[in-house]
Structure 1
Amino acid sequence: MPKNKGKGGKNRKRGKNEADDEKRELVFKEDGQEYAQVLRMLGNGRCEAMCIDGTKRLSHIRGKMHKKVWIAAGDIILVGLRDYQDDKADVILKYMPDEARLLKAYGELPENTRLNEGIANGLDEEDEGAGDDYIEFEDEDIDKI
């Protein structure tokens, strides 16, 4: 029988549940950074985010956060802007819901920002009627078919 050469199974690879993030200091933006809200996740470590300055940017999740900090649509994030590509940014930090509420209370986020709406905030005006894709038939129409 072969000897086990590893240091454990898949539970070791999963890691411990790190609860030290609960009481962390609130990080404000600096120059070259911007607050943004995630519109949708694209996969491959990327997401589409609407920045507070009104620009929609393709954001790349940095490797330190990848598979450790889970980002979903509607989350408030801090992105680092690129000098050479204005339509792309890098995700630096994800704010917890209570931190996002504090940012809004401090006036860092505009008042019209919806914090815990999820994907519904990312819909455009033309997408509002997209749920009306069904056709209603009368009994006479069904007989003709």
Structure 2
Amino acid sequence: MLGNGRLEALCFDGTKRLCHIRGKLRKKVWINQSDIILIGLRDYQDAKADVILKYTPDEARNLKSYGELPESAKINDVEFGDEQDDNITFDDFEAEDDEIDDI
């Protein structure tokens, strides 16, 4: 993000382009780093483009499976598996009201 509704996008053709977020998306759709976005190239300026759409992770996965995105595209997959520990315990915690009174 560069501010003032602009961002720098690294396109799949290897070119960095200065992109302008159109008014329909501004303050309604928040674009973060590593998001997959659709940009419209300008005929008269190759280094500049306009952001048209932000893809959700599900849409990006579908595009990748259809072959529309290159295999090198990394999509933020949040996986919840066996690595999470749902049983969290706090060993050294004793709630005493005296400690609050000492402050």
Map 1:15-54; keep pairs closer than 5 Å: 41-54=1-14
5+ residue gaps, structure 1, are: 1-40, 118-145
Deviation readout 1:88-117 (Å, 9 max, x if unpaired): 000000000100011111111110111118
Q: Which residue of 2 aligns with 1:93?
A: 53
Q: Which residue of 2 aligns with 1:55?
A: 15
5+ residue gaps, structure 2, are: 78-103
The yes-or-no answer on 1:68 pairing with 2:25 is no
How many residues end up aligned between the 2 structures? 77
The yes-or-no answer on 1:111 pairing with 2:71 is yes
Query: Identity of aligned pairs, percent?
Result: 75
Q: Which residue of 1 aligns with 2:88?
A: none
Q: CA deviation at 1:52?
A: 1.4
Deviation readout 1:1-47 (Å, 9 max, x if unpaired): xxxxxxxxxxxxxxxxxxxxxxxxxxxxxxxxxxxxxxxx1111011
Equivalent position amino acid for 1:95 in 2: Y
Partner of 2:17: helix, strand, or coil? strand
TM-score by length of 2: 0.72
Partner of 1:102: helix, strand, or coil? helix
Q: Pick from 13, 32, 43 the counterpart of residue 83 of structure 1.
A: 43
- Structure whose residues are more often helix by fraction: 1
1-side partners of 2:19 and 2:48: how far apart?
6
Could you list the runs of 4 or more consecutive aligned residues of structure 1 that deviate by over 4 angstroms after TM superposition?
none
TM-score by length of 1: 0.51
Equivalent position amino acid for 2:39 in 1: V
